[in-house]
Amino acid sequence: MLMKKWFTIILLLGINQLLYAQALSIQGTVTSEDGQPIPFASIFKSNSTKGTSANSEGFFKLILPQGNHQLMISAVGYQSKTVSINLQHNDSLHVQLALAVYTLPEVVIGNQEDPAYAIIRKAIKKRSYYLAQSGPYTAHVYIKGLQRLMKAPKKFLGLDIEEASKEMGLDSNRRGIIYLSESESNITVNPPKDFREEMISSKISGNNQAFSFNRASELQLNFYENHQDIVEGLSSRPFLSPIAANALAYYRYQYVGSSQQHGLTIDKIKVIPKRKGEPLYKGDIYIVANEWRIHSVNLLLDKTSSINFVDSLNIKQLFTPINQEIWMPSNVQLDFIGGLLGFQVGGYFTAIYQDYQLTRLPKRKRFKEVLAIDEGVNKKDSAYWANHRPIPLTMEEQQDYIDKDSLRKRRESKSYLDSIDKKNNRFKPLGFILAGYDYRDRYKKEYVSLGSPLRSLLFNSVEGLAINYSLSYSRQIDSTSNRYFRINGRLRYGFANKHVNGVLSTSVPLKKQSLILSGGRDVLDLNNRGSLPVLVNSLYTLLAGENYQKLYEKTFASAWWNYTIPGNIKVGVQAEWAHRHWLPNATDFTFWDRNQHKLTSNNPLHPEADIPLFEDNNATKISFGLSYDFSSRYESYPSGKRYLPSKYPTLGIQYTKGLKNMLGSDVDYDLLSASIYKSAIGLGLYGKLSFSAAAGKFLRNNRLFYPDFRHFKGNQILFTDQQLSSFLALDYYRYSTSTSFAEAHTEYNLGGLLTSKIPLLRQLKLEEIVGLHVLHTPELSRYGELHLGLQWKMLRVVYAYSKSSNTLLDGCNTLRIGLSLF
């Protein structure tokens, strides 16, 4: 027994000594020879994956066990240095790095081809080898993100930016840190595409509830791959690696020289895009001679690369050997600057990779959970972060955490929230008329919204001038899952037909489910897939006498339930009882009397006379819907799972049954339909492809009315809200069917593949689009459209050619201007 106690004491003393040894730290600065700090220099223990990075001021701190160590200090563009230390207690170290000197051998002079091309060809040849070599592995990743407002106007669109900047903790010149966050994650990677991240800590300055936007997956840049999708929306096409299989067709290369580092020869090669406007990098790539692997990169994307959101993005990546054969990234640095409408923002994201471990995952190992964030991830205290962050905070960053935490506590207090609400809740008659009125009680998390009377106005030939006024109430029930209880109401009155209508709906806050209950009486479009926006119809009717939208009145009660079952299969059920009433025109008013003769009746099949399209009827029906996109990959949050889009199309099936005699129902039919849809299929540098198709049949059509027909998204006006499944020149109502249908749509967005090569157009970042649409019904037979156009952001101009086998015309040419919203 005594021996057992002594053994326990000795063991505890040994553990204590081990912990003490592991607690020693070495800290210091990394500067250039002229004393300037080198931001984010890499400091790694030789022959290990233990390391850190300097902060933006060149200061670093590294925890090491007691004893002798060799530290390798590196930075892109500088000569690496190895320093030996004997760590017996907490110590300091100051390192100066010399700029790397790249010498040109004499044989370069007079050569017809730059030597860079021979090196790049060998690097391209070895690309697939090093791509396959980079895994499977696990690693620990620390990410810091910082964004800074560098310039801002005093006022913007009537908003007091100066006052808002004070609330954000900025200085008197409206400058300072607007976002600062840190995160730690453990990642498991199984190339080429399988990736799992477990976030173990998260910290956002001024917010102790949210989770950091930092994602290791988004900084997982691999230049051994042909293309890099850096940030969604940064470019319409992915960026081409300087050593991609076809890189020689897009880049020029210039040999800068070679440098000796740790017994290796590093070749520096300048990367030069052959053409402006293409998604190409410029800058330097460093290649290890004779091995033809990437040593580091310093690449730039700017306006000549046709990037969006920012003016420039600088990418630095430094590799380190984790054994004699395999090199992996030790740190990745993204610096950006952007400006718009008097605002200028700059910042960075930096990632430090440590503790690489090569694993033996099966080659076909798949990661369904790609991101896991537990509830306690954002609850780590300052002591935890002081011991775990590898990049020391600067004084400014330390102060930002202190100031933003103080602001957060003040903002969360009832007195502060009440004072802000009291100020913002002041009723302003003009503001109410133009934009509506919002009442907020932030402490109770209650919100009331009253619509704008001006924006509620509309005009059509059925109701004349009408008001469709909305109001809503919501209250947050659960901040973790972001669930709300909501009630929405609308009151509608037509001054010409003197009909009063109203609708009330509520969403019930269920966990992992959606339940919406609604009822009342409303005026609806005869085409339940939508014909044209209400405002556009109002303007066309008043200005041109073209009342395209056709309406009817429905008194109804409905319930809609939605649930995602395991496997990412979405299930939806809707039940509805309705009384439908056709409406005649009530006015022939237009701004100019000469346009009154253009007005048509509210019967789209008999535009010359107001003959009722259908008799009054009751309809009780139930619909079932299933959709599946083959996605088994998901992200886990405290609020639940979020499935990621699949590379495969989304399949859907829907069945609607009209229930005869139930609750006085007059309808008796069964409609079965199926659909397939996929948007933005990446084709590399050649753009993206989207397609959708649907087909269906009324299995029984014993009795149904026009609102029950299958309708299509048509268009008859110049300005259109174009979606993927929209036709550009199809009548809104004439070809709706009660039998069977099949439609297909596809659009190819070249993403500037052609326009980027035209100097006068490349500055506009125009994207070329080509689309094809076809429709078949027994009534229409075969109908097709081909459209060609240009798109700038969401605005597009399209030329469309349409043809129907039921017409004697060879075809119809149309011009459309609209928005792309798919």
3-state class of 382 per DSSP? helix
- Among 351, 367, 390, residue at a domain's last position: 390
Structure token pair of residue 674? 């199926």
Provide the β-strand partners of residue 654: 625, 673
Q: Is residue 571 part of a domain?
A: yes
Domain-embedded: residue 405: no
CATH number at residue 53: 2.60.40.1120
Q: Determine the Cα–Cα distance for residues 82 and 44; give it in Å rounded to an integer.
A: 10
Asked whether residue 821 falls in the same domain as residue 700, the answer is yes
* Integer Cα distance of 359 and 326 in angstroms: 13
Report how far residue 400's alpha carbon sits from residue 180's, in angstroms, rounded to the nearest whole number. 8
Whole-number pLDDT of residue 362: 60
Q: Looking at the domain assignment, is residue 335 inside a domain?
A: yes
The CATH number of the domain where 185 resides is what?
2.30.230
| 586 and 467 in a common domain | yes
User: Are 85 and 69 in contact, with CB atoms under 8 Å apart?
Assistant: yes
569 and 652 fall within a common domain: yes
Please answer whether residues 353 and 331 qualify as being in contact, where contact means their C-beta atoms are separated by less than 8 angstroms: yes
Q: Are residues 82 and 153 in the same domain?
A: no
State whether 606 and 527 are in the same domain: yes
Check whether residue 484 and residue 378 sit in a common domain.
no
- CA separation for the pair 539, 677 (Å, rounded): 33
- Domain total in the chain: 4
Domain boundary among 390, 410, 430: 390
State the residue range of the domain holding 626.
456-666
Residues 492 and 573 occupy one common structural domain: yes
Whether 274 maps to a domain, the answer reads no
pLDDT at residue 374, as a whole number:
87
Q: Are 495 and 704 in contact (CB under 8 A)?
A: no
CB atoms within 10 A of CB 429: 8
Q: Which residues pair with 449 in a beta bridge?
A: 438, 472
| Domain termination residue (choose one: 390, 408, 436) | 390
- The CA distances from residue 759 to 169, 273, 304, 751, 763, in Å, are 44, 15, 11, 16, 7
Same domain, yes or no: 585 and 629:
yes
Question: DSSP string covering 331-356, please?
Answer: EEEEEEEEEETTEEEEEEEEEEEEEE
Q: What is the DSSP string of 435-484?
A: H-EEEEETTTTEEEEE--TTTTEEEETTTEEEEEEEEEEEEEEETTTTEE
Tell whether 696 and 811 lie within a shared domain. yes
User: Where does residue 567 fall: left (phi above 0), alpha (psi -120 to 50 degrees), or beta otherwise?
Assistant: left
Local structure of residue 301 (DSSP, 8 states) = E
Residues 480 and 583 in one domain: yes
What pLDDT score does 810 carry?
57
**Residue 367 contacts by C-beta under 8 Å, 6 or more apart in sequence?**
188, 190, 194, 195, 196, 633
- At 9 the pLDDT is 34
In this structure, the answer to whether residues 161 and 208 fall within a common structural domain is yes
β 795-804/781-792 pair status: antiparallel
Same domain for 605 and 492, yes or no, is: yes
Q: Per the domain annotation, does 176 fall within a domain?
A: yes
Distance CA 175, CA 166 (A): 10
Identify whether 242 is part of a domain.
Answer: no
List of the chain residues with pLDDT < 50: 1-22, 108-109, 808-809, 821-822
**DSSP state, 248?**
G
Task: State the SS3 of 593-656.
Answer: HHHHHHCCCCCCCCCCCCCCCCCCEEEEEEEEEEEECCCCCEEEECCEEEECCCCCCEEEEEEE
Distances (CA, A) of 542 to 465, 466, 526, 530, 585: 10, 13, 20, 20, 14
pTM for the whole structure: 0.84
Q: Is residue 266 one of the residues assigned to a domain?
A: no
| Residue 249, domain member (yes or no) | no
3-class DSSP assignment, residue 664:
helix
